[in-house]
């Protein structure tokens, strides 16, 4: 696209802005917004306090003017059109003067009273989030332009050096041509508004309430700690009817504006509160790393299960990355910074929280880490690449699809990806929204990816900027002219569909093109701004080398490098004296710096231009995929000409019909941009197959009855780990073929649904082997997985001993006194009974490492109680009922993940039956104090244990391998081969050693943490290490996440203490020590009553692995 055409598009964009702004100032100012169809102002709904669509945003403070000031400043800075620059600078200064006339100058005296209000002393209940991003951000951005911290070429005010200790809110006046003298009025007004928002932060969770009255605070949130005594307890039926729910975006997207406000005013309250709210949202992420949508700030609990990248959560991700940019290069705020007296300094919600934010929580690197981890989770669980990539709305804790639509707010995400350096992914995602815009002439609010049409009639477009915002960022990242033609299309469609005599309307329905009588403030504040910057490559903001950001409302923000926000002449800079030590001490400098090279940390260089066409994007082989996904090729092209045709056969009435359907997108793209020999790759449809089992009707029931249908759907149920199949009756299982990261397979199969139960990418399907007994299918094979197994241990409570008696820690033989020690060491079943109600499953910590590499979910915190989630009765503290009644010992069950060795000295596990999966049956009702007791329908093969310490100091006693099934060693002191070499030779018998267990005390994978409570007690970086595997492993398949327990290596063949080859090598396994109230593994073996193993199995079909199916 040539310079002349770019100039035309710039002029058209300026005309769009002026048409809207001039009409607002003529027909609506000083009200908040303009009705462009009826040419009247739009204000709050005074008759309906719960009309949130209007009242959350419109606060009787000239919203459209505030939102437009930064756009005027950017137009004033263009070097391409001096006339536009002159007009825009005059309007920018006049707009500030008019706003100050109506709201005062922010001081306490008479000058602080405006025509409409003293500052923001307004009886308006507004949404905190919208007020911060639109009004606080708009005032701060305009202030930064007014004092010269953000560039407007030709306007360069010079501020003198401020005296030490002077008030940062009282700046030396800057004279303007009209006679108005700017001395920080907007900054003082921003502080006034910020303080009026503080009551909303009076919660114990750190999450702000969603709304606040600018005059009266939060009387409608009766449980807030701001009220010294609440008339009604939390959860009472007498609570206020005001909804407390807020969204993640609303609570977690305040850091940019509040950090700038704190740095400019010296008042740290705002930055601290915004960051605390951000971290409160992030700390509530699910165990698969996904942030939810709606949360209750009083209880800190999620109130919905959905998540995504669109409405309700969108700007949280944006502010994670942009906070990193904004805060980079600046010192950290010190909590002891003195604050200016405003009369409202007593409003400090941060005082509710005894723990101050850490330096790491203040650091820019911490926000970058959040972005990295959040995007990794989104990419892992919400990214769907079937047909054409898009981000679905998913289940927060499980990751499976939650709804089947995408929304227009999510169109911002490709732009964020481009800023963060994920350019290829950004290009893919933006193609879909470009195709949608081409089809409808705007983006519908919701679009169904299943039905390929507007979802549920929600088809309005209120002038949103997100799509053009991403287009702007992608053009800046790639310099590909394709995006200029996208901008040209957007501008033409706005002119065609949205122009009214008095401004610009939104579209009530993008299908019918019905206009909406409202011009939202963000149309002038964001949409026109990004369009203009797209068409003005020489604008200073497109070349500014500084840590500035556009907020989510497109207001440019920056933290000045100097503590005082002033610009100095070169002579003043030379005379400047060094900052005194007591001022330097007000900033914290020592902090752990985050850096992870496994993530994207820089932007790639733009791709080389394609010869002749100049567009890399137009040459992508997947361009048609996006068009096909939205059925663009089936949609009439109104720009390709129309013809009159009969409305019906034989009718005299005619209708206009498009001559062609769409073939190119954007529709403004010239054919010269297409490569001459371009190709389109095949659509990425994944092979899918379904297995169905017939529904067998019960006696007296017809096969198609609703009763039978119900029990067919009951063939499977959700568990903490995924889906448990309990019956084959009416079972329906859906398989999808996917790429494999295991080099042993070219592809793998993944189960995506069982009956009506969808599965996330890390959810597993478990089925008991007994259900498959008697079923033969040549296409399916059960394959043993050799690297790992489960080691099952039954042990009793420690015997209370005199504390003065010394008990040796090593070389202790465990004397087993239980039915397992029957004569001749026969295998004797343990007795059974019933389970006590209300069992605390934490007593049986089946940890994440109990699951092997074949099927463990990468979210290790979710696999700590495998037995309890598969058996509704659970596994807890079992007891063996002996003749002593209630005096019988209580027995406990612990399962450890065991790594089998590799190398020349490795031996297979003994050929014994697998330990049963569920060990607990029920409660013992014969005692006043009920305890869980063991089932009576299983056996454990081994019952005698010898504890040998590290076994590095020489030969073990002969009775160790001769009379004990299990020898337990501690890791360390010598090699694994050396430990085995100290075990004497022995004659194999039913009583001799069957297995050597090496216990690793390092706790490298937090094996001993029991259940969610233990997981939640970990520091955030350890929790994230468990979730993500210590790095960029969020995208790895489940079996890789289990490999944190390294398999031991036996490099040499086993031999005896005398050096002779061992003819019958001893099997060995390695486990973690674990820990907790029942002791670590080594101590549990000291009290062992039975030991067994449970092998792992995979399922293969057609030579490919089913990666998330586990046979128990």
CB 106 within 8 A of CB 342: no
Q: Is residue 897 within a helix (H) or strand (E), and if so which, with residue range?
A: strand 891-899
**DSSP E strand stretches across 243-389:** 246-247, 294-296, 301-302, 306-307, 332-333, 383-384
Q: Is residue 737 within a helix (H) or strand (E), and if so which, with residue range?
A: strand 732-739
Cα–Cα separations (whole angstroms), residue 820 to 825, 826, 940, 964: 7, 7, 8, 13
d(CA 219, CA 100): 29
Cα–Cα separations (whole angstroms), residue 369 to 324, 331, 435, 672, 707: 9, 18, 33, 43, 51
DSSP, collapsed to helix, strand or coil, labels residue 133 as helix
CB 965 within 8 A of CB 1091: yes
Which residue, among 534, 1042, 580, has the nearest Cα to 788 in the 3D structure? 1042
Cα–Cα separations (whole angstroms), residue 607 to 421, 610, 619, 620: 13, 9, 12, 12
What angle do helix axes 255-265 and 185-197 make, rounded to 10 degrees?
120
d(CA 452, CA 631): 7
Q: Is 445 a catalytic residue?
A: yes
- DSSP assignment letter at 134: I
Backbone angles phi, psi at 519, to 5 degrees: -105, 100
| Residue 235, number of CB atoms within 10 A of its CB | 9
- DSSP assignment letter at 981: H
The residues that bridge with 1079 in the sheet, in sequence order, are none
Q: Is residue 1069 within a helix (H) or strand (E), and if so which, with residue range?
A: strand 1068-1072
Task: Return all residues near 305 (Cβ < 8 A) that are at least 6 apart.
Answer: 292, 395, 396, 397, 402
| 552-568 residues labelled b (16+ CB within 10 A) or e (exposed) | bbbbbbbbbeebbbbbb
What angle do helix axes 314-327 and 269-283 make, rounded to 10 degrees?
130
In this structure, is the dihedral angle defined by the CA atoms of residues 17, 21, 23 and 24, taken in order, positive or negative?
Answer: positive
Catalytic residue among 149, 298, 425, 445: 445
For every residue of 896-922, DSSP letters joined together read: EEEEPPBSTT--PPPS-PPPPS--EEE
| 1023-1035 residues labelled b (16+ CB within 10 A) or e (exposed) | bbbbbbbeebbbb
d(CA 537, CA 563): 32
Which structure tokens are listed for 3?
A: 């310079």
DSSP, collapsed to helix, strand or coil, labels residue 179 as coil
d(CA 123, CA 1027): 47
| Residue 528, number of CB atoms within 10 A of its CB | 30
Which structure tokens are listed for 1029?
A: 């595997």
Question: Cα–chain-centroid distance for residue 661?
Answer: 39
Which residue, among 891, 874, 857, has the nearest Cα to 1028 in the 3D structure? 857
Task: Return all residues near 109 (Cβ < 8 A) that are at least 6 apart.
Answer: none
d(CA 379, CA 761): 11
Which residue, among 66, 133, 469, has the nearest Cα to 319 in the 3D structure? 133
Which residue, among 920, 1057, 930, 1073, has the nearest Cα to 1003 in the 3D structure? 1073
Cα–Cα separations (whole angstroms), residue 309 to 414, 648, 1009: 11, 45, 32
Which residues are tagged catalytic?
Answer: 445
């Amino acid at each position: 696209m040539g310079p002349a055409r770019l100039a035309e598009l710039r002029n058209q964009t300026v005309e769009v802005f002026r048409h809207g702004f001039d009409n607002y100032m003529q027909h609506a100012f000083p009200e908040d917004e303009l009705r462009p169809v009826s040419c009247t102002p739009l204000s709050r709904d005074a008759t309906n306090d719960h009309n949130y669509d209007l009242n959350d945003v419109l606060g009787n403070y000239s919203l459209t003017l505030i939102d437009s000031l930064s756009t005027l400043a950017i137009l004033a800075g263009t070097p391409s059109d001096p006339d536009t620059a002159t007009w825009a600078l005059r309007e920018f200064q006049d707009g500030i003067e008019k706003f100050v006339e109506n709201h005062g100058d922010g001081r306490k005296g008479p000058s602080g009273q405006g025509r409409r209000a003293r500052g923001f002393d307004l009886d308006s209940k507004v949404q905190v989030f919208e007020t911060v991003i639109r009004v606080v951000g708009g005032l701060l951005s305009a202030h930064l332009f007014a004092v010269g911290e953000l560039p407007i070429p030709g306007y360069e005010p010079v501020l003198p050096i401020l005296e030490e200790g002077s008030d940062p809110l009282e700046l030396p006046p800057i004279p303007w041509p009209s006679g108005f003298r700017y001395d920080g009025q907007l900054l003082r007004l921003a502080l006034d508004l910020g303080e009026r928002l503080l009551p909303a932060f009076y919660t114990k969770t750190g999450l702000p309430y969603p709304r606040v009255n600018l005059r009266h605070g939060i009387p409608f949130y009766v449980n807030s700690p701001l009220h010294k005594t609440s008339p009604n307890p939390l959860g009472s039926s007498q609570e206020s009817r005001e909804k407390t729910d807020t969204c993640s975006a609303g609570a977690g997207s305040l850091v940019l504006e509040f950090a700038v406000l704190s740095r400019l005013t010296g008042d740290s309250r705002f930055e601290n509160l915004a960051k605390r709210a951000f971290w409160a949202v992030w700390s509530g992420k699910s165990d698969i790393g996904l942030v939810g949508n709606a949360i209750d700030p009083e209880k800190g609990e999620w109130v919905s299960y959905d998540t995504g990248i669109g409405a309700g959560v969108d700007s949280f991700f944006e502010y994670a990355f942009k906070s990193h940019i904004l805060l980079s290069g600046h010192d950290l705020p010190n909590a002891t910074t003195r604050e200016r007296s405003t009369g409202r300094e007593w409003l400090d919600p941060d005082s509710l929280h005894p723990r101050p934010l850490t330096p790491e929580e203040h650091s820019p690197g911490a926000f970058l880490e959040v972005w990295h981890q959040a995007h990794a989770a989104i990419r892992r669980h919400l990214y769907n690449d079937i047909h054409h990539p898009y981000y679905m709305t998913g289940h927060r804790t499980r990751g499976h699809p939650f709804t089947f639509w995408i929304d227009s707010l999510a169109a911002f995400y490709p732009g964020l990806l481009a800023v963060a350096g994920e350019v290829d992914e950004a290009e893919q995602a933006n193609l879909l929204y470009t195709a949608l815009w081409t089809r409808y002439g705007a983006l519908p609010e919701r679009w169904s990816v299943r039905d390929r049409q507007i979802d549920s009639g929600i088809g309005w477009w209120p002038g949103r900027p997100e799509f053009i915002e991403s287009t702007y960022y992608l053009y800046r990242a790639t310099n590909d002219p394709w995006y200029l033609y996208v901008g040209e299309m957007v501008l033409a469609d706005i002119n065609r569909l949205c122009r009214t005599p008095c401004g610009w309307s939104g579209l009530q329905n993008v299908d019918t093109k019905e206009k909406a009588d409202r011009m939202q403030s963000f149309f002038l504040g964001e949409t026109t701004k990004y369009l203009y910057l797209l068409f003005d490559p020489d604008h200073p903001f497109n070349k500014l080398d500084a840590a500035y950001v556009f907020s989510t409302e497109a207001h440019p923000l920056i933290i000045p490098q100097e503590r005082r926000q002033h610009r100095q002449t070169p002579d003043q800079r030379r005379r400047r004296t060094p900052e005194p030590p007591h001022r330097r001490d007000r900033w914290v400098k020592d902090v752990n710096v985050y850096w992870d090279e496994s993530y994207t940390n820089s932007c790639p260089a733009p791709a080389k231009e394609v010869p002749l066409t100049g567009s890399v994007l137009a040459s992508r082989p997947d361009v048609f995929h996006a068009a096909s996904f939205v059925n663009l090729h089936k949609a009439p092209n109104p720009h390709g000409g129309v013809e009159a045709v009969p409305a019906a056969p034989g009718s005299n009435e005619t209708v206009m019909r498009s001559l062609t359907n769409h073939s190119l997108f954007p529709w403004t793209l010239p054919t010269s941009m297409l490569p001459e020999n371009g190709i389109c790759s095949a659509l990425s449809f994944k092979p899918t197959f379904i297995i169905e089992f017939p529904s067998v009707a019960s006696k007296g029931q017809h096969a198609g009855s609703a009763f039978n249908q119900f029990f067919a759907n009951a063939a499977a149920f959700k568990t903490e780990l995924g889906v448990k199949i309990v019956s084959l009756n009416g079972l329906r299982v859906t398989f999808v073929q996917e790429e494999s990261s295991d080099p042993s397979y070219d592809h793998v199969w993944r189960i995506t649904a069982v009956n009506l139960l969808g599965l996330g990418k890390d959810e597993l399907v478990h089925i008991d082997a007994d259900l498959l007994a008697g079923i033969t299918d040549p296409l399916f094979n059960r394959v043993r997985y050799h690297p790992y197994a489960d080691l099952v241990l039954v042990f009793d409570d420690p015997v209370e001993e005199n504390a003065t008696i010394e008990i040796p820690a090593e070389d202790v033989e465990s004397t087993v006194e239980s039915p397992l020690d029957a004569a001749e060491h026969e295998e004797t079943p343990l007795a059974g009974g019933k389970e006590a109600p209300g069992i605390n499953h934490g007593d049986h910590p089946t940890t994440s490492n109990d699951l092997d590499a074949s099927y463990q979910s990468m979210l290790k915190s979710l696999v700590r109680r495998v037995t309890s989630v598969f058996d509704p009765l659970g596994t807890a503290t079992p007891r063996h009922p002996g003749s002593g009644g209630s005096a019988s010992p209580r027995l406990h069950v612990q399962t450890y993940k065991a790594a089998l060795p590799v190398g020349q000295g490795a031996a297979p596990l003994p050929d014994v039956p697998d330990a049963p999966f569920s060990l607990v049956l029920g409660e013992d009702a014969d005692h006043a104090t009920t305890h869980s007791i063991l089932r009576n329908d299983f056996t454990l093969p081994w019952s005698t244990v010898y504890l040998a310490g590290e076994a590095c100091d020489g030969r073990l006693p002969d009775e160790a391998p001769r009379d004990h099934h299990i020898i337990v060693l501690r890791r360390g002191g010598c090699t694994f081969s050396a430990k085995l070499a100290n075990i004497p030779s022995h004659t194999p018998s039913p009583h001799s050693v069957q297995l050597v267990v090496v216990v690793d005390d390092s706790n490298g994978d937090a094996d001993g943490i029991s259940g969610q409570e233990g997981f939640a007690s970990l520091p955030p970086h350890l929790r994230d290490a468990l979730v993500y595997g210590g790095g960029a492993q969020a995208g790895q398949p489940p079996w890789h996440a289990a490999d944190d327990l390294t398999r031991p290596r036996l490099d040499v063949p086993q031999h005896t203490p005398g050096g002779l080859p061992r003819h019958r090598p001893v099997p060995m396994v390695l486990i973690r020590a674990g820990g907790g109230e029942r002791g670590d593994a080594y101590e549990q073996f000291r009290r062992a009553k039975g030991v067994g193993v449970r092998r792992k199995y995979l399922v293969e079909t057609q030579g490919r692995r089913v990666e998330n199916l586990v046979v128990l």
